[in-house]
Structure formats: structure tokens, C-alpha cells
Structure 1
């Protein structure tokens, strides 16, 4: 905020403006500067306004006192009055100035540039001593100007007051020049904006994690509010602007600037430049989205050609597969991921691949129907142990994706060469279709379990088996802890306490306690394979959809 003292430091003011009285109010804020033709001018005075009289008042003009009171009553910042040309010499001490206590009462002649602050000494301007005392008593700065055009002082002061707007305009212009119509990557946008502002800048995803750049407290941004934000910090603040796409399912990106120390004073200036940079991110998102959709259509078409393959692939098809970076040789294990309802598939394909890689699974993932079809390839025929390890990794990935992206997942068996790809994908699709109805299995099913599952379904659909199954499990009904579902998940997980706990989302000690209660209530030993099989069939019967 500009003050009267700050105006006095202007080069245009410092050589010819002196404080006559009211030095106690020099730190008063100045929001506007108004020129008046004379002290009697009838213009209303605004709060925090400095009044500059452009015509020298008459000696001992009572209207100057009236102007001081008008300015004080309105909450103004001060009054400046001019005089004639500056003197050629500085008045000698004791030459009749009104600077000291020995001055004659009545009027004070204000001497030249050698006067001290508050002395009221500027040659050529006679200010009543009563006026000086009034300004001191009111705490209102009374300034005197020697020579020059008062309107030049007005212009210099108004330029200073307009500095924030000028700074903002210059910054916005520089931002438009930095982010012209060319498409910039997120990293380029962050780097250019950081160079422009001289402060840390980052691009955050919809979880508040940095995609480019780095700031100290990214978690302070409220990523669930799609409006520009100002987040206070110790010693500064974060300014955040969203970069959105029209499609509602697209995650929001946030462009964030961290202003600390002296940079925090520019908090009112930076947001427009931040908005220009956010528009550059939006352009990149649009272009990137078009590229993603084009690539997705090409991948889906290529996958369709591979799944319809009934002979040796042609040279052209092999070339397309090579261009896509896919492998046709080796042993393939297919997977099918069903998407949650109404999900826009294209933007999430990269996230699915990322989660799979985090679990140690390198797989091709393609948007296909209402979900994704994919496969991972082994150079040699995988052993049963390697297949089980792969299934465990895929199950772990499914847990991370479940609910937000994926709904259910199925995994096929290993099949060799190009002709085996369609077979393992078909098995994974069948497994996924059945997994969608299996909450007790965590909506995940491997095809090695699929044949047994289908056989169990046939056994348990008989009219004689269902009443027997319900009677067998009757002691578990109405018991706390959802014992039937726990038992079913436990048997599906091959009696693994840890796996059952993961599927049900409870602690493993809870599962162990429930299984112990099941054995006591039913009077069975789940370590006995015949009793375990009978209970597995019974659980499958009573948990079928619609029963």
C-alpha cells in the first residue's frame, strides 16, 4: 500500500516537496490523488485521498484551514499546496523564518529546499502559524511544493498508485507471449511460468500429487473444488487455478504457484498470469486427449483383428503389431477388466498400466467394450508357480483399482503364439463375467478356478441340494459377523486367512475369530477336505445371485 511518505521518496517529489506540518500522518495510506484548482474548490474528498492544490493559495487564506478539516472529516491522506519558483539562495538562519520558536506569531514564511521536515519553511509561501498548528493537531500531512507544475506531481503520484495494475498488465502480456498458441507440455508450462514469476510452481493431479514442478505443501490445495483458490501459508500463500476439460469424467489438473516472503506481496497480481498458463495446460489436455482417443481407436481395431485371427498373421498385421510394441511370440496370459459404470475409459488406460507395473506386471492394456482387455507375455511356458504368482499380483492390482476404476477382473490360462492369444483372452472374458457376480471372491477370478466354479454351479443347482445346503448353514444365519460370507470367501481363498481378510477388508484376526466360531457352531473341522468341500458347495448354493 502506498503512503504519503512513499510519495515523498519519488524522484519527481523529493527535490521540491517538503513537509510543512502534520508529520505524524506521513504513514497514512494513499489510494487516490486528486488535483483541486484551489482550497475553495467544492469537490468531495474521498477516504485515503491526497489533495493537491494546483494554484498557490493567498497568504494566510482561511479557506486552507477549511480544506484541512474537510480532508480530515472525509478520512483523506493529506494536502499539498504549491508556491512560486524556488529561490536562488537559501534563507540564512534568523532571517525571519517561521522555523523556530522565536518566529513572530501570526504568519510563517516557508523557506527553500534547506528547510527541515515539519518546519513549514518554503520561500514564497506564507502559511499561517495557526494553519500549521491545526495540521499538527489533526495529524494531517500538509505538504509544500517549490516550483514546477503541480500537475506533474499528480501524474508521478498516480503512476506510482497504478504500479500494481501496470505490473499486472505487464505480467499478463508476458504470460501471453510465453504461452502463445503453440502447444506446450506440462513440464514446459511449469518451467516457463516459474521463470516468469520467480517462485516455485507445480502442476498437481486430481489427488493433489505433483505431475510437474515442486512446491512445499501440495496437500494444502483443495482438489475437490474446481475454482481458483488462495490458500494461506506460514509466511505466504498458495495460488491455485484449475485446468479443466469439458468432459466431466476427466480428472482436474491444478496449476499452483507458491508465494512466500516478499513474493507474497504480489498475490493480487499473479492470478491473471496463472489463468493464462492454466489455459495453456487446457490446450495440451485437449490435444493430448485427441491423440489418446486416436491411439485408442487404433489399438482397439488392432486387437479386434488379432482376436479374429484364424490363420498365420499376415506381414501387414505383424507390422502393425510391431509398430504398437506388442509381442505375438511366447506364451500369453489374458486378462479382462470390467470398468465401473459410466466411466470414460480412454483417460484411465495409462493409470491401469501404471498400477499393473507397480505390482511387477508388464501388460498390454486396450480399451475394449465396457472395460479393458489385455495380456502379459512370457518368453517360455510359465510354470504353475509362476502363473499363481502372476495371479496374486493381478489380484493385488485389482484391489487398488477396485471401486474407482475397475469393477471386476478375470484372468486366463497361458496359451502360446498368436493363435493362443484369442484363446486366453476368451478365457479371461469368461472368468471376468463370472467374477462380476462373486463378491465373496473380491470380484476377481482366475480361469484355473473357472472350470471348478462352473462344475460347482451345476452341482448346486439341483432341487435336492439347495434345501440340504440351507439346513447345513442354518446355524450361521442371524449370527453377527456375516459368517456365511466369511466362510465362502475363506474357502474360495483356499483357507488363506490373509487372502480372506484382504477380500473382506477386515483384519486377519477378525477372520480367524470368525472361522473359529463357524467350526464351533457347525461342529466341523475345516481341515478335513470332505467337510470343506461340502461346506464350499453349500456356500456356493446360498450365495448365488437371486437366492
Structure 2
């Protein structure tokens, strides 16, 4: 069996998702399974290599559980906790927790218990060290079901982009079911996509099954829809009649786990199925449920890992060459960052965080449909996606993709969504710059705009950044513009607006007068008075440029809006 070691588990999930307090047996300790602690169920006598999640047990009350886990020869115990023991002693393995790390998934449900005390964690770590048991912690706000999903996925299979190991096992299962039942078998997901099929020689197949396998999708029809309704309403295998002259009947069963429908198994019934075909198919469904859950866990783990990798790329802490390889990007592949965000008040609404998570799912789904394995991540309420090959036609397709996502998200979430596309960068090493571009695009989008690329709004973006730069530096924020604004405020004049309109109009007096809705002579008079009263030199092109930038960016005036 291809087991994972404790060290591999930590390398796979990493901090802050999982922190190690102590590992007295070392990081090569094998981890064979992940168990959830149940205070109302008998504790296992032996569970060598198991990692136990201490559900409902505070770290400072975990001494008895440490003893029981050690006696059962478990590999380790996972508790809720902070950044590590207060004693300052790191784990005996040499790998310690990282103080100050925030939650790995801020959207996870909060614990029903308060945080354990630092001394309680230190005492638990000492007890585990004495008993030779590894002790790990997860974040206070991590939901146990999510922790179990990630750990089970990491332990149960080497992670692959879409649960490849588990889906490979589904093909083996389809063959085993076909042999036991006596008919050609397919395994489907709830959306009627074919995940695996049998290839037993001599078993008859009909044309609809053949076409479904070729297209990886069951052809839709009202008759098909009715059969699925009957199937999913049944608690066991059902026999379904042929829908056409070229089709054979079917024996089918829904695949469920914990009340959730995960998919279905279908067997072609040519009249020669085994006498115990229904019982064998029901057993196959139980195994399929485990494999589908395992595939989901592996997919969730893969998404978690690629999302974390993208997060580190965006903040500049990931090694670019390694990150590109892990994301499946060839060296020198041009990329750009797309940013999606809920608009205005929707982001700050009470359910804004949940809406942002749904937006993440929608962006990921649309990107995976076009690019396959894909990196998306939610950071501070903004969903970022890394889009490869962004020049020429690819750039146009990405613009259409962003528009499609914004439209679909607005309909699904019932809140406005906006998107910004950063500049194309020639390689992954420059992704951080494209992310900054995308953020800037979101900030300068107009009230009627929902999607834009940096090249479309560059002038606005430059002015915004200039306004921030000018406002931060005393020497750049000083100048005649302040005197003009103060004079207008004290004397009831309109020199600042007049100057901005004149400069926006390219120093054309007639156009400036139209912007101000006054006679050109009035505009001309105001400019003469501004020169005389404030001593500004409008004949100097440098002074005109600086005055225009300061009035536009710092005073926020604009001729088009005057």
C-alpha cells in the first residue's frame, strides 16, 4: 500500500492549514488513515498509523485521548489550537509552527468551543511527546468535516488534478461489476457524465451506450429525464425498459453517501444477467460511493494546493519556476490575472462572504471548463484566476470569458459582479504585476462598466496612481492649485473649474466655454483675472501641465463633468 508519511502530509497541506507541535517518532511516521473521534462510540483497540481528529475535545482536556491514541498505536492526534506551545519549545522533529499565521480558509465554520490556552497546548504537547504520539493543530475556525476531507484526500491518494487515482479505480470497479452482474456497465456522476465503463469482451452494448461513452455524456431526452427521476426516487436497484427499438433495457442503481446522491451505475440488460444481479449491483454502488468520495477529496485537495500556490504567486512569495511546473505551464508561457469582485454594498453585506465563496466556485467552474486544471483563489473578497496564453485571439476569448462569468454570476448570486483583466505578462515570474493591474482596473471601472482590461482604462489607471502618489508626498501636493482653490472658496469665484475646462479643451477658448456653458469672453476674462490675482504663468507649458495634473487628481475636477 502506498502510504503517506507525516512529513509528506505536512509538505502537501502545509501551514497554516496544519501545524506540527511535536513528532517524537519523526516525520517518517507512516499515516494510513484519518479517523474522526466520536465520544459516544467505542474507541478502537488498534489503529496503527491512524491520524485521529479530536472532534469536540479541547486541547487542554486531551490528556486521556492522547493516552488512548498512543495505546492504539495511532500515528498522531489533531486538535484545535493556536500557534504552538507557549513554552517556546518547538517540536522534537525540528519542524515548528509559524507564529502569526492566519487561518487557511477564513470561510470555514467557527468552532463551537473557545480556543485552548497556550499552557493547555504546551501540556498536551508534553504528554504526546512522552507517549511517542505526534500532536498537530488546525485553525480555530476550521470545520472538522473540511479538515477530514483534505487529510483523507492527502492520505488516501497521491493528489492528481481531478482525482485520477480514484477515477482509475472506477474503471476497475466497472469491470468487476460487469463481471459479477453479467452486463456491460457504466458509472455516471449526477450530471449524467460518464466517469467509467466496463470493457468485458462479449458483453452486448447498444448504440445509445456506445454514443454516450464516445461523448462522455448521456444523450439528453424527456424519456431519459423520466428514467433518472424514477432511479433517484428509488432506494435500491431498478429495472428500466428500453426507450427505443435500438436500445436494450437497463438495470440501474443510485450511488449515495449520507443521503447525498453521488452518481449512478447502469448495466445493459440483454436478458442474461446473473440471478443475483441486483444484489451485486447494490454492492457495487457501495464501493462506487467510497471511490467517488475519494475522487472528490483528491480534487478538493488539488484545488486547495493550486489555490494556495496562486495566492503565494500573487503576493510574490512563491518560486516562479517551481510554481509554473506545478500549475502545468510551460516555461515562457504568457499569462494574465483576472480579478472578479462583488460590486460595492454587496461585498459588505452580511452574506457577502458566502456570496464571495459562491463566486469563487463559479469562476473556478467556468475556468476549468475551458482550461482543465486551473488555479483560482479568493483573497480579501476578490477572486483571482490565472489565465494562460493571453495574446491576440486568446486575449479576446479571455475578455469574453470574463463577460460570461460576470453575467452568470450576476444571475446566480443576484448581486452585481465586476471583473478586471490585468496586463499580459511574458511569464509566471511577473504575475504579481498583472494582479496589481487587475486590482487597479476594478477600482477605475465606471458605474456602467462591468468588465474591462487594463489597456482599455490605462489613462484612468495612471491618473488614479498619480493622485495617490501626489497625495502621499508633501512636495508633490504643494503648488498653485491650493491657492486657486482657496481663492475660489473665499471670493466665490470659479477660477479652478475654468482652468480645468480650458486645459481639458487643449487651451481652446471656444471649447472651454462650451464645457462651462458660458460665453467665450467670460472664460477669457476669468483666465485674465486668475493670472492677475494669483500670479500663475499660463504661458509656461510645465506649469500648465503640473497645474492640470494637480487640479485633476488632487482637487478631483474634470472639464467633462463641469
TM-score tier by shorter-chain length is: 0.3 to 0.5
What TM-score comes out, normalization by structure 2 length? 0.37
What TM-score comes out, normalization by structure 1 length? 0.38
Larger-gyration structure (1/2): 1
